[in-house]
Amino acid sequence: MHPDTTPIWPMMFVSVACGAISGFHATQSPLMARCCSSEKESHMVFYGAMVSEGIIALIWAAAGSAIYATTGGLTTGLTAMLANGQATCVYDICTKTMGGFGIVLAMLGVIACPITSGDTAFRSARLVIADWFKIDQKPYLKRLYICVPLLAAGALISQLNYGVIWRYFSWSNQTLAMIALWTASMYLFKNAKNYWLTAVPATFMSAVSVTYFFCAPECLHLSTAVAYPIGILAAAIFLGLFIRATFKEHGTVTHFKMMHHV
C-alpha cells in the first residue's frame, strides 16, 4: 500500500526508525549505565527498553493500518491526517480507539514524550561537548556556556519544515546506530566475545544508511538502480575493513605473546 514512487528498501527501515534500531538511544547508554550498579541490571534496562520500543512501534503500525487502510489505503487517509502534523495523527487514533481516555493518552504521548526526548538529547549533547573540550560541568555557569548555544541552535532548527527535519533525524538515527554497532563489534572482538552478533546487523544497517542517503528525496535523490549497488558495495567495504582490523589486531596480539614468551 506504499506509494509506487517510494521504494520499500531502504525507506521502511528508516521510517520505523527507533522502533527498529536507535542510534539516539545508544547515545543515552552512558547516562543510563551510570544508574546501574551491575551489568546484570543493565541487561534488563537496555533489553527491556529495546523490546518495549519495538512493541510500541508494532502497536502504532497496526493502529495506523487498521484505521486508515480504507478505500484509498494509507496513502490517502494517513497522508491527509499527517498534513497537519504527526501529533494530529496520534490524537486521531487515540480518540477513535479509546474516546476521552484516548485524548489523555494522546496529550501525554504528544507532550511528555517529546519533552523528555529533547531533555535527554540536549543533556547528552552537552556532556559530549564537555568531555570533548574538557569543560568541568559542576559549576552551573559552565553548564550554561554549552546549554545556551545548544538551545539556540535547537530553536533555529525548529523553525524549519518538521517533515524534512524528521526524515533527516531518522536517517542520522540509523547511521548513528550503524556506528554504535561497529564500535560494539570491535569491543566484543577485543574481549574475545562473539562479535558477529553485532557485526552482521552493523553491515545491514550500513547498507540501509548509505542507500537511503543516495536515493532519498532530501538527500542525493538518485535512482534505485544507482543507490542499491552503492549501498551494497559500501556495506561490503565496511565489513571488509572490520575483518581486516580484526586480523591486524589478532596478528599484533599474537606477535606480542610470542615476544613475551621469548
> Whole-number mean pLDDT of the chain?
82
Residue 237 covered by a domain: no
Count up the domains in the chain and report the number: 1
**DSSP-assigned letters across all residues of 207-261:** HHHHHHHHHSTTTT---HHHHHHHHHHHHHHHHHHHHHHHHHHHHHHHHHHHHHH
| pLDDT, tens only, 168-177 | 888 888 999 9
| pLDDT, tens only, 190-241 | 999 999 999 999 999 999 999 999 998 888 888 889 999 999 999 999 999 9
Residue 100 covered by a domain: yes
Q: Is the pLDDT of residue 47 over 80?
A: yes
Residue 17 covered by a domain: no
DSSP 135: -
Residue 121 covered by a domain: yes
Q: Which of 12-26, 116-130, 178-192, 244-258 has the lowest mean pLDDT?
A: 244-258
Domain that holds residue 141: 84-159
Residue 171 covered by a domain: no
Residue 136 covered by a domain: yes
Model confidence at 257, pLDDT cuts 50, 70, 90, reads: very low
Residue 147 covered by a domain: yes
Q: Which helix (H) or strand (E) holds 61?
A: helix 48-68
Model confidence at 182, pLDDT cuts 50, 70, 90, reads: very high
Average pLDDT over residues 6-27: 80
Residue 126 covered by a domain: yes
| pLDDT, tens only, 48-70 | 888 887 888 888 888 888 887 76
